[in-house]
């Protein structure tokens, strides 16, 4: 069987070659390697599925294997298509490679190829498949390894020359992104140069392909280019090696010459105010933006935020403002301290003011109702790719403001950003750990508010320690089960942002969510309780709606969340829900 050398035959040849090459290129080897190691590679390091992130996350050996597999899925389609091209219809692939592959197809020629375009189309389709893979909802890697494989099959001399550029730039700078960009851009230059000098006979389709691949490389590295210009791009380090402190630009916490900067806290609630005070004590210039002008004026006059955080005095040079642009302008770090259900509106206002090099630190703990997005997903939807960090842990604002020893975690896919935030906040009473599991940290901080409502109900009804201990234990199991299904790591829920935050929120007199539950247990209605709180937000009420819907969407068993939802939104009596939970079918504890 073969496609005739006619317009229709050529069209069929192009479609078949492009489709098959695209599907081969779409195979996500980096993701599959991560799955073999028990992780989702997209939730670690840079979040990329390429060889560089595999190396960072699971080791050099696996990174080399990923590079080889991604390389082959670019080279093999080009070689196989070239071996199946009808003779004399044109070919651009190195003849010895074509001859080698033709031994496997017994001389059968299938495709009609005018002027050697099919191998180039196959190479391009494989790269597009890696960048926008159908198997991963069109969210893949940057395509450098796959492009290198396709180019080796087409023009090995240009690849070797560009490879030399990559090696020189990489070892000189330690920036994988910069090396990849310059190598890709140099490829068509070498191709044209060798054609002009007669060193290698590159045909026009190859040159056109190399320009396309160079353009794709630049487009896919846009965020890297912004970070390179801002000086915040990640240098490549071997797994286990300490992050280059120069990238963070903040020395050890013990160094009295800590570099300071301007920080903007977007939200004048209790937690935003407490963290603004922490940053101020660390020597940073801090400005707090508040959505209510009258409260801003009041705080600046009396130096106390008695609407949201009664008691602690606010330093006179810690300025509150109702002008978002004034707060954001010149700030190196923006702390998102707005309640989760109002964050989208603030992000829309923030977007035209945001600079590419500003660090985004989210401290809101919730899941947006309707969209069911976590705060990192919401920020990505509204702001695009940013330098995002989630800060969470067992930390009541009332105690942080009074210098009570507190431990939290700074989570980011990029370790430099997590370390930057760690150094910015950390001091003798506020200790910060780092982590890469953003999803786990965010879900731990959001879901614990739901269980705190249940703990309050237990207190309001008058049940004992046995009941609350059982509730918190099963809450951790349920939280971990749902969190793992949504992409978090189980061990994260055993840490500060999981069990740590759950304990403090379920037990503390400062907990607004526990207060709501306690009042429900005493018989008050939810509407009455919310009105009496005078704009102080209990995140767990809305988060319960989102979590309930998420558990149903992903088929995760969450009897506690559903039980709390029934009390909050369906009008069920607490004792009825507790009886239903206690009389469920007997199970093993680890189910």
Catalytic residues: 448
Q: Which residues pair with 568 in a beta bridge?
A: none
Look at phi and psi of residue 419 and say left if phi exceeds 0, alpha if psi is from -120 to 50, else beta.
alpha
CA distance 133 to 285: 45
Q: Is 361 helix (H, G, I), strand (E, B) or coil?
A: strand
Please classify residue 59 by burial: count the beta carbons closer than 10 Å to its beta carbon, then call 0-12 exposed, 13-18 middle and 19+ buried. middle
Assess contact for 457 and 529: CB atoms under 8 A: no
User: With the C-alpha atoms ordered 110, 112, 116, 121, is the resulting torsion angle positive or negative?
Assistant: negative
Q: Is 333 helix (H, G, I), strand (E, B) or coil?
A: strand
CA distance 588 to 591: 6
CA 483 to chain centre: 15
Assess contact for 6 and 112: CB atoms under 8 A: yes
- Please name the helix (run of DSSP H) or strand (run of DSSP E) that holds residue 288, with its range, or none: strand 285-289
Each residue of 208-233: b (16+ CB within 10 Å) or e? Answer: ebbbbbbebbeebbebbbbbbeeebb
Angle at 19 between CA 16 and CA 21, to 5 degrees: 105
Each residue of 447-468: b (16+ CB within 10 Å) or e? Answer: bbbbbbbbbbbbbbbebeeebb
CA distance 245 to 230: 16
CA distance 279 to 423: 10
CA distance 306 to 327: 21
User: Among candidates 315, 305, 298, which has minimal Cα distance to 337?
Assistant: 305
Cβ atoms within 10 A of the Cβ of 243, count?
Answer: 16
Backbone φ and ψ of 125, nearest 5°? -65, -40
CA distance 24 to 225: 29
User: Among candidates 207, 191, 210, 208, which has minimal Cα distance to 199?
Assistant: 191
State the first-to-last Cα distance of the chain, in angstroms, to the nearest integer.
55
CA 419 to chain centre: 16
CA distance 142 to 140: 7
Assess contact for 22 and 128: CB atoms under 8 A: yes
Please classify residue 354 by burial: count the beta carbons closer than 10 Å to its beta carbon, then call 0-12 exposed, 13-18 middle and 19+ buried. middle
Q: Which residues pair with 352 in a beta bridge?
A: none
CA distance 415 to 86: 52
């Amino acid at each position: 069987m073969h496609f005739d050398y006619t317009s229709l035959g050529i069209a069929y040849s192009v479609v078949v070659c492009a489709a098959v090459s695209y599907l081969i290129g779409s195979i996500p080897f980096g993701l599959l390697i991560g799955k073999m190691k028990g992780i989702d590679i997209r939730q670690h390091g840079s979040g990329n599925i390429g060889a560089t992130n595999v190396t960072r996350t699971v080791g050099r050996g696996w990174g080399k294997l990923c590079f080889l597999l991604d390389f082959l899925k670019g080279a093999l389609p080009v070689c196989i298509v070239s071996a199946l091209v009808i003779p004399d219809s044109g070919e651009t692939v190195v003849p010895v490679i074509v001859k080698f592959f033709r031994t496997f197809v017994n001389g059968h020629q299938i495709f009609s190829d005018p002027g050697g375009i099919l191998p180039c189309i196959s190479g391009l389709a494989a790269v597009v498949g890696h960048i926008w893979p159908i198997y991963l909802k069109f969210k893949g890697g940057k395509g450098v390894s796959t492009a290198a494989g396709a180019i080796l099959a087409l023009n090995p001399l240009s690849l070797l020359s560009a490879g030399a550029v990559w090696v020189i730039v990489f070892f000189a700078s330690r920036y994988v992104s910069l090396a990849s960009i310059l190598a890709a851009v140099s490829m068509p230059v070498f191709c044209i140069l060798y054609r002009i000098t007669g060193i290698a006979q590159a045909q026009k389709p190859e040159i056109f392909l190399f320009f396309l691949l160079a353009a794709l490389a630049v487009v896919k590295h846009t965020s890297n280019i912004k970070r390179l210009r801002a000086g915040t791009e990640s240098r490549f380090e071997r797994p286990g090696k300490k992050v280059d402190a120069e990238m963070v630009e903040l020395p050890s916490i013990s160094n009295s010459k800590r570099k300071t900067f301007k920080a903007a806290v977007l939200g004048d609630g209790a937690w935003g105010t407490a963290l603004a005070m922490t940053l101020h004590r660390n020597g940073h210039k801090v400005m707090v933006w508040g959505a209510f002008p009258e409260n801003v004026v009041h705080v600046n006059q009396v130096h106390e935020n008695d609407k949201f955080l009664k008691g602690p005095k606010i330093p006179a040079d810690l300025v509150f403002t109702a002008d978002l642009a004034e707060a954001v302008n010149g700030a190196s770090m923006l702390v998102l301290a707005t309640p989760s259900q109002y964050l989208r509106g603030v992000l829309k206002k923030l977007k035209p003011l945001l600079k590419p090099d500003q660090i985004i630190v989210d401290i809101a703990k919730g899941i947006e109702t309707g969209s069911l997005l976590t705060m990192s997903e919401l920020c990505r939807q509204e702001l695009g790719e940013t330098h995002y960090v989630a800060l969470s842990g067992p930390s009541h604002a009332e105690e942080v403001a009074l210098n009570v020893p507190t431990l939290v975690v700074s989570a980011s896919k990029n370790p430099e950003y997590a370390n930057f935030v760690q150094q910015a906040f950390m001091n003798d009473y506020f200790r910060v750990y780092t982590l890469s599991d953003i999803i786990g940290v965010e879900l731990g901080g959001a879901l614990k508010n739901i269980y705190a409502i249940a703990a309050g109900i237990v207190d309001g009804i008058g049940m004992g320690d046995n009941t609350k201990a059982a509730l918190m234990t099963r809450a951790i199991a349920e939280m971990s089960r749902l969190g793992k299904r949504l992409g978090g790591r189980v061990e994260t829920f055993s840490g500060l942002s999981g069990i740590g935050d759950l304990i403090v929120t379920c037990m503390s007199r400062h907990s607004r969510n526990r207060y709501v539950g306690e009042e429900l247990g005493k018989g008050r209605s939810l509407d009455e309780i919310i009105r009496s709180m005078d704009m102080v937000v209990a995140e767990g009420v809305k988060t319960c709606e989102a979590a309930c819907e998420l558990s149903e969407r992903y088929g995760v068993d969450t009897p506690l969340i559903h039980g709390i939802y029934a009390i909050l939104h369906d009008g069920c009596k607490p004792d009825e829900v507790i009886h239903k939970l206690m009389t469920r079918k007997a199970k093993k504890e680890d189910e």
